[in-house]
Structures are given as structure tokens and as C-alpha cells.
Amino acid sequence: MPEKQQQWLDSSLKDVAEIAWRSQEELNQARLKTMLEGEQLKVVELTEEERAVFAEASQPVRQDYINATGERGTEILKRIRQLVETLENQAQESASENGG
């Protein structure tokens, strides 16, 4: 494929992926709102102490996962921890911006 066409295709695929991501996010949020309003789902927010207890209690399961999946599992857990940290930071920033 000529380079110009490849660039056009890459750009188009990126645009489509972004649109699909936003559409899926909107759908997810709408569904979550419906489930919360219909009391189909209950969200429990843990205190820092409760989170620490949960983290400690789940450590053996994480180790079992790493033992079963090796380096790939270690990398997946590392990425999950990074994503959680990023989302928590974003939530804190959002709360600060909104006076929370």
C-alpha cells in the first residue's frame, strides 16, 4: 500500500477507535446509571482502612495468579495497579476542582 494511503488508513482507524471508545463510555455510564437507579447494583465505597485490609487479604490470590501466569501475569497486575492509581488521581483532582 502506498505510504499516503497507509497514513490515511491509520488516521481513519484512529478516529474510528476514538469514536467507538467514547460511544462505549457513554453507553457504560448510561447503563450504570440505570442499574444504580433501579437498585440492581449497589456501590460500596471502602474507607482507606478497609482498602488496606482488603489489599492485604487479597495478596495470596495475587500471588497464586502470578504463580500460574508467570511474567505475563506480573505485567498485567502491574498495569492494573498503574491504571487504578491513575484513575484514583483523576478522581481526587476532579473532586478538588469541584470543591470536594
Q: For 29-40, how does the pLDDT look when each residue is reduced to its tens digit (9 = 90+)? A: 999 899 989 988
Number of domains in the chain: 2
Which pLDDT score, from 0 to 100, does residue 11 have? 92
Cβ atoms of 62 and 77 within 8 Å: the answer is yes
Same domain, 49 and 83: yes
Residue 79 lies in domain: 44-100
Same domain, 30 and 64: no
Q: What is the pLDDT of residues 44-93, one digit of tens each?
A: 889 999 999 999 999 999 999 999 999 999 999 999 999 988 988 888 88
Question: How far lies 19's CA from each of 22, 33, 64, 82, in Å?
Answer: 5, 21, 38, 24
Q: Would the pTM of this model clear 0.85, i.e. be above it? A: no
